[in-house]
Chain A
Amino acid sequence: MRRRPKLPPVFASRTEAVVIFVLALISLLGLIVVANPLVHSSASPETWRLTIFSQPQKTSEIAMPAEKHLLVTGKLGPAEIEWDDRGNVRIASSTCPCRTCVNMGWSGDAAIICVPNGIMIEPQRSGAPAVDAVTR
């Protein structure tokens, strides 16, 4: 009976095996991150862009505050911005005369705008957003 020739070991040492394994893992993870769009998108916004259309215009990125309420000062006076647990946002109160912004209620994807008070708050999502714009 013929004996099989003994093959040389694939890895010369344990270090070599570990290095190849780690390199393979990092490479594959890198490709997954690049190729998979799900990695880039998220369901709920992480931050909101708050714009006060005063002179000069002020824009800032804000995170949801712990109390889920934020008092800002617009062109006419104070306005209260409020978040719910799902990351929807609304203007809870405003010093504008018509209160249209308050009557708009909660908004998920779209910006909430108070024209008289010059306040806009819009969700900022990383990656591809669910919609490009909202017609209303």
Chain B
Amino acid sequence: MRRPEIHKFNLIITQFFLTPALFLRIPLSHDLRKPAFTGMLERPETRPGLFMNTANRIIVALFILLLIAAVVLHVRESRRQAFYSESRMLMDTVISIKSWPANSGEAVAKAFDEFATVEKQASFHIPESDLSNLNNTGTLGLHVSASELLQIGVDFYHRTEGYFDPSFALLQKAYGFYDEKGRLPSDEEVSQMLATGCGLDRVLARDDERWLLAPGSLLDFGGLAGGYAIERAKMVLRAASCSAFLIDDAGDIWFEGQKPDGKPWRIAVRDPRDNTALAYVESHQPLAVSTSGDYERFIIIDGRKYGHIMNPLTGRPVDYYSSVTVVASDSLTADALSTAVFAMPPEKAFTWVDAQNLPVLFLTATGSIHLSQAGRAVFTGVKEK
């Protein structure tokens, strides 16, 4: 079935050809060798027609062609630039996907389905999720789909020397992050939790059939599930041959493909102090950008703000940085390492990220900005302070 806008476009083009032709009395279909204006020559009393001069006819024809070309180019460019964009509330946040071409709505819907699937696996809040099942019963079969995410979490726990630790959920619960009723646990409580309920390698084990979680421990994969879902969603969009797309999971971003305007992708790193851009990441190549900060998820206890990322040694919320932004070649790495690096003290973090050759931008709690060695080539337009 012909689309109405195509029909309209054809009508416009037809009018462009016909109107000047009629106005100039240019023969359209009959023999061009036959004089076109014989009628006029035979009737000299009538007003002479326009553009008897061949050169002028050519000039007019060229301008008309130029005008048609401009219209055609404009319509083609508008269609090429058009994209599909949708936002949905999933995984306790808003996920946005922008995709080219404009008719990729079906693929984007399938990509959102991946977020919904991961939410069913890894939500801390949904009672029926696989993770809730593990937290409530202490066991989870290896065949369950969330098993893959658990293994990835274990791998990142070891890679980050324990700074990425989903078992900190116990501490976060004690601080009131889940019921939003902030309270300060005592030193004894924190020591007890660190000794018996935290440390992924101590509280989570697996045998041939199932995962086993120590009694009283809790896991929260919020620092990884978003990146995991983005990885799955991007596979769907790739399989659907989307030419370019951007997935934004509450600031954890993945982009790939060539935008129609030929410009690089441009991601701003938010400066939490004044909501301007702290720096930019610009790239034609696919990249993941993820930021951990203390300004979006926090609780206020006795007038003091506490962030949700914990120090694995003290069991207390860290306050070294305002934000840590990590750029990586996949969303899992960017998501997990931004959380882990945020938990590291600066003297540890600055050397660790350089050893990992990781592009990182630190905004410290005192307002100073530090770039990792790899970050100097990746972040542009960095504020001086």
Which of B45-53, B216-224, B345-353 has 4 or more CB atoms under 8 Å from chain A?
B45-53
A100 is an interface residue with CB less than 8 A from chain B: yes
Contacts of A33 in B (CB 8 A): 70, 74
Residue of B52, B63, B71, B253 near A133 (CB, 8 A) is B253
A47 at the interface (CB under 8 A from B): no
Q: Which residues from A are CB-within-8-Å of B41?
A: none
B94 touches A23 (CB 8 A): no
Q: Complex Cα distance A57/B94, Å?
A: 12
CB of B3 to closest CB in A, whole Å: 22
Known contacts A134-B270, A136-B293; A20/B70 CB under 8 A? no
Comparing B84-92, B103-111, B128-136, B198-206, the segment that makes contact with chain A is B84-92
CB pair A34 B88 closer than 8 Å: no
- Judge if B275 is at the interface, Cβ distance under 8 Å: yes
B56 touches A20 (CB 8 A): yes
B89 touches A118 (CB 8 A): yes
Chain B nearest CB, measured from A79 CB (Å): 15
Stretch at the interface among B188-196, B259-267, B365-373: B259-267
CA–CA, A104 to B23, complex, Å? 62
Contact: B74 with A133, CB < 8 Å?
Answer: no
CB pair B67 A30 closer than 8 Å? yes
Residue in B96, B289, B298 whose beta carbon sits within 8 Å of that of A135 in the complex? B289
Chain A's closest residue to B74 (CB) is A34
> A78–B277 Cα gap in the complex (Å)?
30
CB <8 Å contact, A107 and B94? no
B121 interfacial contact with A, CB 8 Å: no
A130 located at the interface, meaning its Cβ lies under 8 Å from any Cβ of chain B in the complex: yes
- The answer to whether B89 touches A16, judged by C-beta atoms less than 8 angstroms apart, is no
Q: Which of B257-286 contact A (CB under 8 A)?
A: 261, 263, 265-270, 272, 275-277, 280-281
User: In the complex the two chains form, is A31's CB within 8 Å of B70's CB?
Assistant: yes
A34 with B73: CB separation less than 8 A: yes
- Given A34-B74, A135-B268, A98 and B180 touching (CB < 8 A)? yes
Cβ–Cβ contact B59 & A135, under 8 A:
no
Contact with A along B25-56 (1 / 0, CB 8 A): 00000000000000000000000101111001
| Interface segment, one of B162-170, B244-252, B311-319 | B244-252
Residues of A71-126 contacting chain B, CB below 8 A = 88, 97-98, 100, 103-111, 113, 115, 118, 120, 122
Q: Are the C-beta atoms of A13 and B50 separated by less than 8 Å?
A: yes
Q: How large is the interface on B (under 10, 10 to 19, 20 to 34, 35 or more residues)?
A: 35 or more
Chain B neighbourhood of A105, CB < 8 A: 275
Q: Flag whether B207 is at the interface (Cβ < 8 A).
A: no
A62 beta carbon closer than 8 Å to chain B: no
Q: Kindly state whether residue B339 has any CB partner on chain A within 8 Å.
A: no
| Minimum distance in angstroms from B339 CB to a CB of chain A | 14
Q: Which chain B residue has the least Cβ–Cβ distance from A59? A: B87
Contacts of A88 in B (CB 8 A): 275
A125–B107 Cα gap in the complex (Å)? 24
Residues in A neighbouring B93, C-beta threshold 8 A: 113, 115
> Contacting B253 at CB < 8 Å: which of A10, A106, A135?
A135
A22-46 vs B, CB cutoff 8 Å, 1 = contact: the mask equals 0110111011011001000000000
A12 within 8 A of B: yes
The minimal Cβ–Cβ distance linking A97 to chain B, given in whole angstroms, is 5
Given contacts A23-B67, A30-B71, A135-B291, contact A111 B270 (CB under 8 A): no
Chain B neighbourhood of A134, CB < 8 A: 251, 267-270, 277
A15's partner among B50, B63, B325 (CB-CB below 8 A) is: B50
Contact B277 A131 (CB under 8 A): yes
In the bound complex, residues from chain A placing their C-beta under 8 Å from that of B71 are 30
10 contacts between A and B (CB under 8 A): A11-B56, A23-B67, A53-B94, A98-B180, A105-B275, A132-B267, A133-B96, A135-B253, A136-B251, A136-B293
Q: Which residues of A contact B (CB under 8 A)?
A: 8, 10-13, 15-16, 19-20, 23-24, 26-28, 30-31, 33-34, 37, 51, 53, 57, 88, 97-98, 100, 103-111, 113, 115, 118, 120, 122, 128, 130-136
The 8 closest A-B pairs by CB, nearest first: A30-B70, A53-B89, A136-B270, A27-B66, A136-B251, A23-B63, A131-B268, A135-B291
Task: Taking A30-B67, A88-B275, A132-B265 as given, write out 20 further A-B residue pairs in contact, using a Cβ cutoff of 8 Å, ordered by the A residue number.
Answer: A10-B56, A12-B51, A12-B53, A16-B51, A16-B56, A20-B60, A23-B64, A30-B74, A31-B69, A34-B74, A97-B180, A100-B298, A110-B270, A113-B93, A118-B89, A132-B98, A133-B246, A134-B268, A135-B267, A136-B291
